Structure 1
Amino acid sequence: MSRPRLPFADPDAARRHIYSLVAALACLIQVAVAVVDHLGPAPGVVWEPVVGALLCLGAAATLRYSRVSLSAVDHAVLVAATLSVGVQVVQAFGTPAAPAPRLYFTGVFLFIAGFSILPPRWAMLYTAAVYAVFGALTLTREAGQDLTLLAEMGLIGVLIGHLSIYGQQVSAKRAQTLLFQKLALTDPLTGLDNRRAMYDRLKQAFAEVPQGQDFAVIMLDVDHFKQVNDRYGHDKGDQVLQQVGAVLRAQVRAGDHVARWGGEEFLVLARVRDEGEARAVTTRLWRAVRDAQVEGLPPITASLGVAFASHADSLAGLLHRADTELYRAKALGRDRVILAGEAPPVPGRPPQERPLSVM
């Protein structure tokens, strides 16, 4: 049984969705600014918010209705914003009146956009170029307010650059730490949890199992695995383990967990209400392994032993009981499921389903 997909499980899809919502919101804000400007003391069209609204609307529509990559949208927005601000800067500084402080704020926006989109080195060069344009045009004027705003703009640019580069370094270290943690808790061959990761899950489950509820530990061992390695080679043996791991991962229910316990052994933590549900879950896993195939090999079978948390005084006792039932299944002929406390088959009576011979 496959796990239910969460909405926006794909990080790229999630980012596109959030990006388009932010762009749409920014468009509405720019429209509001344009309306306020138009109704202000000096009525008329102020092109800065109009251009900004069109730019944001174009970005939102592109993200929502096309497959253009996020990187392409990022760079297109940066180029369009740069050209728009460049035209506004030249026009503002070319008039006798001093440019509005809002124009310097727009320059700060370009700093933020540059460090958000470009690699650090290119972002620093881009920011320096934008600041140089503002600085050159400001110094050609005689306006104290312009110099103050220019100095503040420069300080803000340095802070944005510092915080951006520092944030990227922190994010890189955090990603590296998460990767190392994942590697430390993952079996490299099957991609499942390893013994350490599963043991932590078992400890938590055993300590927190609610009154009146239960969970089962299902220990699975691939039958005749040593013979597979000896006869067909370790590469084929690895393929068997990978196939069994993939089958178990696909079959476990949401909220249950599967791990490679060691060698050819796997362990499943299954939350169950009673022994009947435990048998149904375990039988489904057993059948799925039986149906799995590796090219060039006979059918795969496995023996499974099941123990219940409600019957154990400690986690060590729980694992020991599951291990005991597993070896009882193997002693009774392999390729079967044995639950803790279950009576062995009557001597001389064949099991309900005859075991398949692997070798």
Structure 2
Amino acid sequence: MSTGATVWRALAGSERGLRRMLQYWAATALLYLASIGMVEWQVLNGFSELEGMRRLELFGIGGLIVFYFMVRFSAVLRLTPEVLTVTQALYAIGCGMWAYSIGGPVRSGIMPMTVMVVAFCMFALRPRQTLLLTAAALTGMGSTMWWLQAHDPLRFPPAVEAITFGYLAAALLSTALLTGEMSKLRAKLKRRKKELERALETIRLLATRDELTSLANRRHMNEVLAEEERRHPHGAGTCVALLDIDFFKQVNDRHGHAAGDAVLRSFAATTRGALRSHDVLARWGGEEFLLLLPDTCPSDARLVLERMAERVHAMRVPGLEADRRISFSAGLAERRHGEAFADAINRADKALYRAKEAGRDRIEMA
């Protein structure tokens, strides 16, 4: 890692949420620096006193430094984004009160900055919190105006201060209401986004999973087989097996389709537990299943199928007679050199047919 990257990591951290909060702090810092530039212009043009403005500048810069460390180490200090936002907003309002009192004839320019403070907080605060912050801003600025007109009515005429406060109150309350509505809209959009993400996840699941058995469906299995062909174009060392539940039609005819569905679900859950981590079992259609056994020789593949058969024999399905044993027939084929999976599956299908002809509940090799 370069020196620059190390320094940046130390300053901004590595967590995404922390970096986002520091970006907000950086935006606030730019606003403070722009305000300091305006203050310098006021001093140069004789609108404000140099000493008072210098103190205000130092106060603002010192606050920026303190807030950087508060944000950077918010996890250690256990400061939530809401607490950080409110603290910085109240600090900015305090700076505005100070700037208004020493701003001279251009003091009304502070009003938009106060409104901007409230608007900026809409991204982190709830509507009620924004209203409380607005009330704090009005109380602070109103108290400052009242004190100034009471103690220095020549420089701060009461009528002018009252009108200025009226405009400020109208702007702040309107901004608070608008930001409240925008916050509600953002919350609504966020909820809809989450609902859409859940819906998309469901669609993805339905596109790859069989709804009844929760196994891979035929469409997804074809994608897996295509990927396996790309991974091993020569085809050596891979087996496929077609499995068919024995006498499944009798279960449906005698006990109904609900019992048949229960057999399929139990069969899927039981056989899945007998597979290795890299094996893939899919519902191929009806009561037929396709098993992919990558990097497996026929003897090992047969052991997997025999283990599956043992577990299926011991399986008990609600709704069926206690002595009713479920079994399956299977046709196993090893993929030949350069052979397409479709051809290997076709050979496994013929082996499955031979297993059924030979009495079922058996495994035939293609």
TM-score w.r.t. structure 2 length?
0.58
Do 1:24 and 1:57's aligned partners in 2 also have CA atoms closer than 8 Å? no
- 2:363 aligned to which of 331, 334, 337: 337
Deviation at 1:44, TM superposition (A): 6.9
Alpha-carbon separation, structure 1, partners of 2:81 and 2:223: 47
1:227, distance to aligned residue in structure 2 (A): 2.1
Kept after mapping to 2: 8 A contact 1:85/1:107: no
Out of 89, 94, 111, the position equivalent to 2:97 is 94
- For structure 2, which runs of at least 5 residues remain unmatched after alignment? 1-13, 25-56, 104-109, 146-160
From 304, 310, 316, the equivalent of 1:287 is 310
Equivalent-residue separation in structure 1 for 2:238 and 2:324 (angstroms): 33
Q: Which residue, 327, 332, 340 being the options, matches 1:306? A: 332
Aligned to 1:346: none
Distance 2:58 2:330 in 1: 82
Partner AA of 2:124 in structure 1: A
Give 3-state SS (helix, strand or coil) of 1:201's partner.
Answer: helix
Segment of structure 1 superposing worse, 172-181 or 299-308: 172-181
Q: Per the alignment, do residues 134 and 22 of structure 1 end up closer, same or farther by CA in structure 2, a change over 3 Å counting? A: farther
CA distance in 2, matches of 1:310, 1:126: 70
Residues 201 and 27 of structure 1, relative CA distance in 2, 3 Å threshold: closer
Match of 1:264? 287
Please state how far the C-alpha of 1:193 moved relative to its aligned partner. Answer: 1.7
1:110 Cα deviation (Å)? 3.6
Q: Indicate how the Cα distance of structure 1 residues 315 and 130 shifts in structure 2: closer, same or farther if over 3 A, else same.
A: farther
State how far apart, in whole Å, the 2-side matches of 1:90 and 1:58 are: 24
Partner of 2:253: 230
Cα shift readout 1:262-285 (whole Å, capped 9, x = no counterpart): 111111111034222222222222
Is 1:213 matched up with 2:222? Answer: no
- Give the Cα–Cα distance (whole angstroms) in 2 for the partners of residues 171 and 183 of structure 1: 18
- The answer to whether the 8 A contact 1:221-1:265 is kept is yes
Residues 331-340 or 280-289, more deviating: 280-289
> Which of 64, 72, 76 is the equivalent residue of 1:57?
76
8 Å contact 1:286–1:337 — kept in the other structure?
no
Tell me if the contact between 2:239 and 2:297 (Cα under 8 Å) persists in the aligned partners. no
In 2, Cα distance between equivalents of 1:128 and 1:297: 70
Distance change >3 Å, CA 297–CA 227, structure 1 → 2: farther
- 2:360 maps to a residue whose letter is R
Q: Name the SS for the 2:360 alignment partner.
A: coil
Residue type at the aligned position of 1:203: A
Alignment match, 1:317: 343
Aligned to 2:9: none
Question: Partners of 2:303 and 2:74 in 1: how far apart?
Answer: 58
- Over 3 Å counting, the alpha-carbon distance change for 1:226 and 1:82 in structure 2 is same
Distance, in Å, in 1 between the alignment partners of 2:115 and 2:275 is 58
Give the corresponding residue for 2:224.
Answer: 201
Quickly say closer, same or farther: Cα 1:311–1:294, change in 2 above 3 A: farther
Which amino acid in 2 is paired with 1:259?
A: A
SS at match of 2:273: helix
Displacement after TM superposition at 1:59 (Å): 4.7
For the 8 Å contact 1:306–1:325, the answer to whether it is kept is: yes
Deviation at 1:307, TM superposition (A): 1.6
Give the Cα–Cα distance (whole angstroms) in 1 for the partners of residues 237 and 351 of structure 2.
18
SS in 2 for 1:220: strand
Q: Matched residue pairs, number? A: 281
**Distance verdict in 2 for CA 1:198–1:44, change over 3 Å:** closer
One-letter amino acid of the counterpart of residue 226, structure 2:
K
Structure 1 residues 103 and 136, CA gap change in structure 2 (3 angstroms): closer
Q: Decide which moves more: 168-177 or 129-138.
A: 129-138
What is residue 84 of structure 1 aligned with on the other side? Answer: 87
Contact 1:240 1:294 in 2 (8 A): yes
More deviation, 315-324/258-267: 315-324
Query: Structure 1 residue 328 and structure 2 residue 354: aligned?
Result: yes
For structure 1, the 5+ residue unaligned runs are 1-19, 31-39, 61-76, 115-122, 341-359
In structure 2, what is the Cα distance between the partners aligned to 1:59 and 1:22? 17
The answer to whether the Cα contact below 8 Å between 1:222 and 1:303 also exists between their aligned partners in 2 is yes
Q: How far apart are residue 222 of structure 1 and its match?
A: 1.2
Determine the C-alpha separation between the residues in 1 that align with 2:275 and 2:102.
71
Match of 2:262 in 1: 239
> Is 1:112 aligned to residue 123 of structure 2?
yes
* SS in structure 2 at match of 1:255: coil
1:48 Cα deviation after fit: 4.0
Distance 2:271 2:113 in 1: 60
Q: Report if aligned partners of 2:123, 2:183 keep a CA contact under 8 Å in 1.
A: yes
Higher mean alpha-carbon deviation, 131-140 vs 191-200, is at 131-140
Q: Percent identity?
A: 28
Deviation at 1:244, TM superposition (A): 0.9
